[in-house]
Structure 1
Amino acid sequence: MFKSKAYTTVLNERPELVQEFTDHHHCRMGRWYYEGKGKELFSHTKAYRAMEEPHALVHDMVLGTIPCAVEKNCLTQDRRETIVGNFKKMEEASNQLFRLIREMVQEANTDIVKELEFSGKSA
Protein backbone atom coordinates (compact mmCIF):
# COMPACT_ATOMS: atom_id res chain seq x y z
CA MET A 1 0.00 0.00 0.00
CA PHE A 2 2.70 2.47 1.01
CA LYS A 3 4.72 2.10 -2.20
CA SER A 4 1.64 2.03 -4.42
CA LYS A 5 0.39 5.25 -2.84
CA ALA A 6 3.83 6.80 -3.31
CA TYR A 7 3.79 6.02 -7.03
CA THR A 8 0.24 7.38 -7.35
CA THR A 9 1.13 10.54 -5.45
CA VAL A 10 4.20 11.29 -7.56
CA LEU A 11 3.14 10.10 -11.01
CA ASN A 12 -0.28 11.76 -10.76
CA GLU A 13 1.04 14.74 -8.77
CA ARG A 14 -1.61 14.34 -6.05
CA PRO A 15 -0.75 16.90 -3.33
CA GLU A 16 -3.77 15.90 -1.21
CA LEU A 17 -2.13 12.51 -0.55
CA VAL A 18 1.18 13.88 0.74
CA GLN A 19 -0.02 14.38 4.33
CA GLU A 20 -0.99 10.68 4.53
CA PHE A 21 2.66 9.56 4.54
CA THR A 22 4.45 9.00 7.84
CA ASP A 23 7.91 7.98 8.95
CA HIS A 24 8.84 4.36 9.61
CA HIS A 25 7.88 4.57 13.28
CA HIS A 26 4.26 5.57 12.74
CA CYS A 27 3.11 3.46 9.79
CA ARG A 28 1.28 0.17 10.31
CA MET A 29 4.46 -1.85 10.00
CA GLY A 30 6.32 0.52 12.30
CA ARG A 31 3.70 0.15 15.00
CA TRP A 32 3.82 -3.65 14.56
CA TYR A 33 7.62 -3.54 14.74
CA TYR A 34 8.13 -1.13 17.65
CA GLU A 35 5.16 -1.81 19.91
CA GLY A 36 3.00 -4.59 18.54
CA LYS A 37 3.01 -8.29 17.87
CA GLY A 38 6.16 -8.03 15.78
CA LYS A 39 8.21 -6.92 18.73
CA GLU A 40 6.54 -9.44 21.00
CA LEU A 41 6.94 -12.45 18.72
CA PHE A 42 10.10 -11.78 16.71
CA SER A 43 12.41 -9.32 18.47
CA HIS A 44 14.67 -12.19 19.53
CA THR A 45 15.59 -12.94 15.90
CA LYS A 46 18.55 -11.56 13.99
CA ALA A 47 16.42 -10.80 10.93
CA TYR A 48 13.95 -8.74 12.99
CA ARG A 49 16.78 -6.55 14.23
CA ALA A 50 18.06 -6.10 10.67
CA MET A 51 14.68 -4.91 9.37
CA GLU A 52 14.79 -1.41 10.80
CA GLU A 53 17.35 -0.01 8.35
CA PRO A 54 15.69 -1.05 5.07
CA HIS A 55 12.26 -0.14 6.46
CA ALA A 56 13.51 3.35 7.32
CA LEU A 57 15.10 3.67 3.88
CA VAL A 58 11.82 2.86 2.12
CA HIS A 59 10.18 5.71 4.03
CA ASP A 60 13.10 8.10 3.60
CA MET A 61 13.10 7.65 -0.17
CA VAL A 62 9.36 8.23 -0.40
CA LEU A 63 9.33 11.17 2.00
CA GLY A 64 12.19 12.73 0.05
CA THR A 65 10.32 12.33 -3.23
CA ILE A 66 6.68 13.22 -2.59
CA PRO A 67 7.10 16.99 -2.00
CA CYS A 68 7.22 17.39 -5.77
CA ALA A 69 3.50 16.48 -5.83
CA VAL A 70 2.74 19.62 -3.84
CA GLU A 71 4.94 21.68 -6.14
CA LYS A 72 3.40 19.95 -9.20
CA ASN A 73 6.84 19.42 -10.72
CA CYS A 74 7.35 15.66 -10.35
CA LEU A 75 7.28 14.98 -14.06
CA THR A 76 9.72 17.63 -15.19
CA GLN A 77 12.91 16.59 -16.94
CA ASP A 78 15.17 17.96 -14.20
CA ARG A 79 13.36 15.91 -11.49
CA ARG A 80 13.24 12.62 -13.40
CA GLU A 81 16.68 11.31 -12.43
CA THR A 82 16.14 12.02 -8.73
CA ILE A 83 12.69 10.46 -8.67
CA VAL A 84 13.77 7.34 -10.55
CA GLY A 85 16.83 7.01 -8.29
CA ASN A 86 14.75 7.39 -5.12
CA PHE A 87 12.16 4.88 -6.28
CA LYS A 88 14.89 2.44 -7.27
CA LYS A 89 16.44 2.68 -3.79
CA MET A 90 12.95 2.30 -2.29
CA GLU A 91 12.34 -0.90 -4.28
CA GLU A 92 15.74 -2.35 -3.38
CA ALA A 93 15.17 -1.65 0.32
CA SER A 94 11.67 -3.10 0.07
CA ASN A 95 13.00 -6.29 -1.49
CA GLN A 96 15.57 -6.57 1.29
CA LEU A 97 12.84 -5.99 3.86
CA PHE A 98 10.65 -8.79 2.48
CA ARG A 99 13.64 -11.15 2.39
CA LEU A 100 14.28 -10.34 6.06
CA ILE A 101 10.63 -10.95 6.93
CA ARG A 102 10.88 -14.44 5.43
CA GLU A 103 14.11 -15.07 7.35
CA MET A 104 12.57 -13.74 10.56
CA VAL A 105 9.62 -16.10 10.32
CA GLN A 106 11.95 -19.02 9.63
CA GLU A 107 14.23 -18.07 12.53
CA ALA A 108 11.31 -17.84 14.91
CA ASN A 109 9.94 -21.18 13.77
CA THR A 110 13.05 -23.28 13.34
CA ASP A 111 11.34 -26.33 14.76
CA ILE A 112 8.63 -26.20 12.08
CA VAL A 113 11.17 -25.47 9.32
CA LYS A 114 13.30 -28.45 10.38
CA GLU A 115 10.23 -30.67 10.46
CA LEU A 116 9.25 -29.57 6.94
CA GLU A 117 12.79 -30.15 5.68
CA PHE A 118 12.85 -33.59 7.30
CA SER A 119 9.56 -34.54 5.67
CA GLY A 120 10.83 -33.38 2.25
CA LYS A 121 8.64 -30.27 2.00
CA SER A 122 10.09 -26.80 1.52
CA ALA A 123 9.39 -23.88 3.82
Structure 2
Amino acid sequence: MEFYPDVKLLHMLCAYLSVALFVTRLLLDLTGKFDWRKSALRHLPHVNDSILLTLALVLLAIGPWKPFLHQWLGIKILAIVCYVVFGFFAMKEKFRWPIRLIFSVLSIASLFLVFYLAKFKPVLF
Protein backbone atom coordinates (compact mmCIF):
# COMPACT_ATOMS: atom_id res chain seq x y z
CA MET A 1 0.00 0.00 0.00
CA GLU A 2 2.98 2.28 0.44
CA PHE A 3 3.44 2.54 -3.33
CA TYR A 4 -0.22 3.34 -4.00
CA PRO A 5 0.17 7.17 -4.25
CA ASP A 6 3.11 6.89 -6.65
CA VAL A 7 1.39 4.34 -8.87
CA LYS A 8 -1.80 6.41 -8.83
CA LEU A 9 0.13 9.51 -9.90
CA LEU A 10 1.75 7.65 -12.81
CA HIS A 11 -1.64 6.21 -13.75
CA MET A 12 -3.19 9.68 -13.79
CA LEU A 13 -0.34 11.09 -15.90
CA CYS A 14 -0.79 8.28 -18.42
CA ALA A 15 -4.55 8.94 -18.47
CA TYR A 16 -4.03 12.62 -19.23
CA LEU A 17 -1.46 11.75 -21.88
CA SER A 18 -3.91 9.29 -23.42
CA VAL A 19 -6.53 12.01 -23.78
CA ALA A 20 -3.99 14.45 -25.20
CA LEU A 21 -2.79 11.93 -27.77
CA PHE A 22 -6.35 11.04 -28.79
CA VAL A 23 -7.41 14.66 -29.24
CA THR A 24 -4.16 15.52 -31.04
CA ARG A 25 -4.67 12.73 -33.55
CA LEU A 26 -8.29 13.76 -34.09
CA LEU A 27 -7.30 17.36 -34.69
CA LEU A 28 -4.54 16.34 -37.10
CA ASP A 29 -7.06 14.30 -39.07
CA LEU A 30 -9.59 17.11 -38.98
CA THR A 31 -7.06 19.57 -40.42
CA GLY A 32 -6.05 17.13 -43.15
CA LYS A 33 -2.58 16.36 -41.80
CA PHE A 34 -2.54 12.58 -42.22
CA ASP A 35 1.24 12.22 -41.97
CA TRP A 36 0.91 11.29 -38.31
CA ARG A 37 -0.38 7.88 -39.45
CA LYS A 38 3.13 7.07 -40.71
CA SER A 39 5.00 8.40 -37.68
CA ALA A 40 5.61 7.36 -34.09
CA LEU A 41 2.39 9.16 -33.16
CA ARG A 42 0.54 6.20 -34.64
CA HIS A 43 2.01 3.76 -32.09
CA LEU A 44 2.68 5.99 -29.07
CA PRO A 45 -0.94 5.89 -27.79
CA HIS A 46 -0.88 2.09 -27.78
CA VAL A 47 2.30 2.02 -25.72
CA ASN A 48 0.91 4.63 -23.33
CA ASP A 49 -2.43 2.82 -22.99
CA SER A 50 -0.65 -0.46 -22.27
CA ILE A 51 1.25 1.24 -19.46
CA LEU A 52 -2.01 2.84 -18.29
CA LEU A 53 -3.75 -0.56 -18.15
CA THR A 54 -0.81 -2.14 -16.33
CA LEU A 55 -0.84 0.62 -13.73
CA ALA A 56 -4.62 0.21 -13.33
CA LEU A 57 -4.15 -3.49 -12.61
CA VAL A 58 -1.40 -2.70 -10.11
CA LEU A 59 -3.73 -0.21 -8.40
CA LEU A 60 -6.42 -2.88 -8.19
CA ALA A 61 -3.93 -5.34 -6.71
CA ILE A 62 -2.48 -3.03 -4.05
CA GLY A 63 -5.43 -0.73 -3.40
CA PRO A 64 -8.65 -0.97 -1.44
CA TRP A 65 -10.97 -0.83 -4.46
CA LYS A 66 -12.90 -3.82 -5.81
CA PRO A 67 -14.81 -3.48 -9.13
CA PHE A 68 -17.81 -5.54 -8.02
CA LEU A 69 -18.02 -4.08 -4.53
CA HIS A 70 -17.55 -0.42 -5.51
CA GLN A 71 -20.08 0.20 -8.29
CA TRP A 72 -18.39 3.37 -9.54
CA LEU A 73 -15.31 1.32 -10.43
CA GLY A 74 -17.30 -1.24 -12.41
CA ILE A 75 -19.05 1.54 -14.34
CA LYS A 76 -15.70 3.25 -14.88
CA ILE A 77 -14.35 0.08 -16.46
CA LEU A 78 -17.41 -0.10 -18.76
CA ALA A 79 -16.93 3.56 -19.69
CA ILE A 80 -13.29 2.83 -20.57
CA VAL A 81 -14.43 0.03 -22.86
CA CYS A 82 -16.87 2.49 -24.49
CA TYR A 83 -14.03 5.01 -24.90
CA VAL A 84 -11.88 2.42 -26.65
CA VAL A 85 -14.66 1.23 -28.98
CA PHE A 86 -15.88 4.73 -29.85
CA GLY A 87 -12.29 5.93 -30.26
CA PHE A 88 -11.54 3.02 -32.58
CA PHE A 89 -14.36 4.07 -34.90
CA ALA A 90 -13.48 7.76 -34.57
CA MET A 91 -10.01 7.02 -35.92
CA LYS A 92 -11.18 4.91 -38.87
CA GLU A 93 -10.46 6.66 -42.16
CA LYS A 94 -13.10 4.69 -44.01
CA PHE A 95 -15.91 6.59 -42.23
CA ARG A 96 -16.96 10.04 -43.37
CA TRP A 97 -16.36 12.97 -41.03
CA PRO A 98 -19.91 13.33 -39.66
CA ILE A 99 -19.83 9.71 -38.46
CA ARG A 100 -16.31 10.08 -37.10
CA LEU A 101 -17.34 13.25 -35.31
CA ILE A 102 -20.24 11.45 -33.61
CA PHE A 103 -17.89 8.68 -32.45
CA SER A 104 -15.37 11.29 -31.30
CA VAL A 105 -17.98 13.06 -29.18
CA LEU A 106 -19.16 9.74 -27.72
CA SER A 107 -15.58 8.79 -26.95
CA ILE A 108 -14.82 12.08 -25.22
CA ALA A 109 -18.11 11.87 -23.29
CA SER A 110 -17.04 8.43 -22.09
CA LEU A 111 -13.77 9.94 -20.94
CA PHE A 112 -15.58 12.65 -18.99
CA LEU A 113 -17.56 9.91 -17.25
CA VAL A 114 -14.34 8.03 -16.45
CA PHE A 115 -12.70 11.12 -14.95
CA TYR A 116 -15.86 12.04 -13.03
CA LEU A 117 -16.12 8.56 -11.51
CA ALA A 118 -12.41 8.48 -10.67
CA LYS A 119 -12.51 11.87 -8.96
CA PHE A 120 -15.78 11.70 -7.02
CA LYS A 121 -16.31 7.93 -6.52
CA PRO A 122 -20.08 8.35 -6.10
CA VAL A 123 -22.23 5.76 -4.36
CA LEU A 124 -24.57 4.70 -7.15
CA PHE A 125 -26.78 1.94 -5.74
- Which range is displaced more, 82-91 or 1-10? 1-10
Q: Which has the larger radius of gyration?
A: 1
Aligned to 2:54: 31
Residue identity over aligned pairs, in percent, reads 6
Runs (5+) with no aligned partner, structure 2: 1-16, 29-33
Q: Which has the higher contact order (CA 8 A, sep 6+)?
A: 1
Alignment of 1:1-123 (within 5 A): 1-12=17-28, 13=34, 14-15=36-37, 16=39, 17-22=41-46, 26-28=50-52, 30-33=53-56, 35-39=57-61, 40-43=63-66, 44-68=69-93, 79-104=96-121
Q: Give the number of equivalent residue pairs.
A: 95
Would the aligned equivalents of 2:92 and 2:100 in 1 still touch at CA under 8 Å?
no
Q: Displacement, 1:88?
A: 0.6
- TM-score, normalization by structure 2: 0.60
Would the aligned equivalents of 1:18 and 1:66 in 2 still touch at CA under 8 Å?
no
Structure 1: distance between partners of 2:24 and 2:105: 15
- TM-score, normalization by structure 1: 0.61
Moved over 6 A (4+): none
CA RMSD of aligned residues (A): 2.7
What residue identity is the alignment partner of 1:37? L
